[in-house]
């Protein structure tokens, strides 16, 4: 794995400093979800007034297995309630850096849910549906998200056009330099929505200079045919601009297995290293960049090159849910600022790491401070702990 160098991080800092006073002026369009997230921890035991939580997913699942055939109860403590959904989190994170955006999704209808009223003023909300609901149970090695998705059953492109109006959607999209389409896995009609935007908005605009970011989320419940079709659909957007597909390690390997006709669980021993799987997926699509972010690094396939950069681990994560969306935000900011591929990758990992470590969306001064911390650790190398959570965990 290629190591991230001090000179690379120092160069990124210098590229970012001019934007402290004046962010890139280009806008972003983000769609199409929205959730109310409850961040929770699972109680392992009570010791007088002290609460001990399950530390890892394995510990938690072992407890669940003990209840097989017997039933059982697990207490959940809600740590915080926050805006959720890939689109609102991405738009809100970009707003912390002064990027203006349009966010179309499910944030309350006919009135916005009170949580989303707290989003950055830089984001213009176009809400056409009530939000989904998610309980995110977090552990030191990841999270389990339990979602209620029934609200999206009739959430189609025709529904969106009826509620928002095609003219307003067209104005928001054509006013934007970058368009981010996220959370394909949780929206049953996502492919139809993306196709609708392509046919009714992008093609009529006659523009060829868009930047596109796609994020599928966990495709476990999608069929091989659905996965194959969405890969082809994303490739179609390449005729109208530069396309980036972002995936985490689990998503990359699941899609690889689906395309090879393998079962992700039963054929686990046949799964290749994530870098090999990424190269295979990239060659099977017609896109500009495939960005894959395992928990410890980022890998980008672009034309004839594969770039791999190590991440910084966070010893004591404050929150995990939303880490991947902040990584996407950093990467998108890099695209808007005209940074090169390596700098976009590093900025994504820094944005995610700052969020995971501190539990809040970082503004640009906080990102620069985080990069300083990263540089300081590289100057004083230490042995990594046996178990750690990396900065840019993306689920």
Backbone phi, psi, residue 273, to 5°:
-55, 150
DSSP, collapsed to helix, strand or coil, labels residue 326 as: helix
pLDDT at 59 > cutoff 90 = yes
Q: Report residue 383's pLDDT band, with 50, 70 and 90 as the boundaries.
A: low
What is the C-alpha to C-alpha distance for residues 322 and 330, in angstroms, rounded to an integer? Answer: 13
Which residue reads 């109860």 in tokens? 73
What is the C-alpha to C-alpha distance for residues 352 and 218, in angstroms, rounded to an integer? Answer: 18
Tens digit of each residue's pLDDT (9 = 90 or more) over 77-94 = 999 999 999 999 999 999
Whole-number pLDDT of residue 382:
63
Q: Which residue has the higher pLDDT, 320 or 366?
A: 366
Whole-number pLDDT of residue 3:
84
pLDDT at 390 > cutoff 90 = no
Please state, in angstroms and as integers, the Cα–Cα distance from residue 67 to each residue in 7, 29, 42, 139, following that order: 53, 46, 15, 20
Whole-number pLDDT of residue 388:
47
Q: Report residue 175's pLDDT band, with 50, 70 and 90 as the boundaries.
A: very high
Put residue 98 in one of left, alpha, beta given phi > 0 → left and psi -120 to 50 → alpha: left
Residue spans of alpha helices (H) in 184-322: 190-197, 203-205, 224-236, 249-259, 274-283
User: What domains, with CATH codes, occur in the chain?
Assistant: 6-390 (3.40.1190.20)
Residue spans of alpha helices (H) in the chain: 6-16, 57-66, 86-95, 157-164, 166-174, 190-197, 203-205, 224-236, 249-259, 274-283, 323-336, 341-358, 364-379
Whole-number pLDDT of residue 12:
97
Tens digit of each residue's pLDDT (9 = 90 or more) over 2-25 = 789 999 999 999 999 999 989 898
Whole-number pLDDT of residue 368:
96
The DSSP letter of residue 16 is H
Query: What is the mean predicted confidence (pLDDT) over 116-139?
Result: 95
Query: What is the mean predicted confidence (pLDDT) over 165-179?
Result: 96
What is the C-alpha to C-alpha distance for residues 179 and 335, in angstroms, rounded to an integer? Answer: 11
Write down the mean pLDDT value for the chain: 92
Tens digit of each residue's pLDDT (9 = 90 or more) over 28-39 = 999 999 999 999
pLDDT at 259 > cutoff 80 = yes
Which residue reads 């999704």 in tokens? 105
DSSP, collapsed to helix, strand or coil, labels residue 247 as: strand
Contact 174, 205 (CB under 8 A): yes
pLDDT at 47 > cutoff 90 = no
Dump the DSSP string for 163-217.
HH-HHHHHHHHHTEEEEEEE-GGG-TTHHHHHHHHIIIIIHHHT---EEEEEE--
Q: Is the peptide bond before 29 cis (omega within 30 degrees of 0)?
A: no
DSSP, collapsed to helix, strand or coil, labels residue 340 as: coil
112 exposure class (CB count in 10 Å sphere: 0-12, 13-18, 19+): middle
Whole-number pLDDT of residue 386:
47
Query: What is the mean predicted confidence (pLDDT) over 141-169?
Result: 95
Q: Which residue has the higher pLDDT, 152 or 2?
A: 152
Tens digit of each residue's pLDDT (9 = 90 or more) over 298-349 = 999 998 889 999 999 888 888 777 888 999 999 999 999 999 999 999 999 9
Question: Nearest to residue 358, comparing CAs of 366, 346, 347?
Answer: 366
Tens digit of each residue's pLDDT (9 = 90 or more) over 265-307 = 899 899 999 999 999 999 999 999 999 999 889 999 998 889 9
Tens digit of each residue's pLDDT (9 = 90 or more) over 94-106 = 999 999 999 999 9
Whole-number pLDDT of residue 284:
93
Tens digit of each residue's pLDDT (9 = 90 or more) over 191-202 = 999 999 999 999
């Amino acid at each position: 794995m290629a190591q991230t160098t001090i000179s690379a991080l120092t160069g990124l800092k210098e590229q970012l400093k001019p934007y402290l006073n004046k962010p890139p002026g280009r806008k972003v369009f983000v769609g199409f979800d929205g959730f109310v997230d409850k961040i929770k921890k699972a109680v392992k035991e009570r010791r007088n007034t002290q609460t001990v939580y399950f530390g890892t997913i394995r510990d938690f699942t072992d407890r669940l297995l003990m209840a097989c055939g017997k039933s059982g109860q697990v207490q959940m403590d809600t740590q915080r309630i926050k805006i959720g959904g890939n689109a609102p989190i991405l738009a809100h994170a970009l707003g912390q850096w002064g990027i203006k955006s349009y966010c179309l999704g499910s944030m309350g209808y006919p009135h916005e849910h009170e949580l989303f009223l707290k989003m950055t003023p830089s984001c213009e909300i176009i809400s056409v549906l009530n939000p989904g609901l998610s309980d995110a149970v977090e552990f030191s090695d990841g999270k389990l998200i339990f979602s209620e998705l029934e609200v999206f059953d009739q959430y189609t492109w025709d529904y969106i056009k009826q509620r928002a109006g095609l003219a307003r959607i067209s104005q928001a999209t054509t006013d934007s330099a970058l368009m981010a389409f996220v959370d394909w896995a949780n929206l049953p009609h996502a492919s139809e929505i993306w196709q609708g935007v392509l046919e009714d908005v992008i093609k009529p605009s006659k523009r060829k200079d868009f930047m596109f970011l796609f994020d599928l989320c966990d495709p476990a419940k999608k069929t091989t045919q659905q996965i194959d079709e969405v890969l082809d659909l994303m490739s179609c957007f390449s005729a109208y601009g530069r396309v980036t597909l972002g995936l985490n390690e689990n998503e990359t390997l699941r899609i690889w297995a689906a395309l090879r006709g393998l079962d992700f669980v039963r054929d686990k021993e046949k799964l290749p290293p994530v870098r090999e799987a990424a190269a295979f997926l990239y060659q099977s699509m017609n896109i500009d960049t495939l960005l894959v972010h395992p928990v410890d690094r980022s890998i980008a396939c672009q034309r004839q090159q594969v770039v791999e950069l190590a991440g910084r681990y966070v010893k004591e994560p404050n929150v995990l849910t939303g880490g991947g969306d902040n990584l996407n935000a950093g990467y998108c900011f890099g695209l808007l600022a005209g940074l090169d591929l390596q700098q976009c990758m590093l900025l994504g990992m820094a944005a995610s790491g700052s969020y995971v470590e501190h539990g809040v969306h970082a503004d640009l001064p906080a990102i620069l401070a985080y990069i300083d911390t990263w540089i300081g650790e590289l100057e004083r190398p230490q042995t990594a702990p046996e178990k750690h959570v990396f900065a840019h965990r993306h689920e």
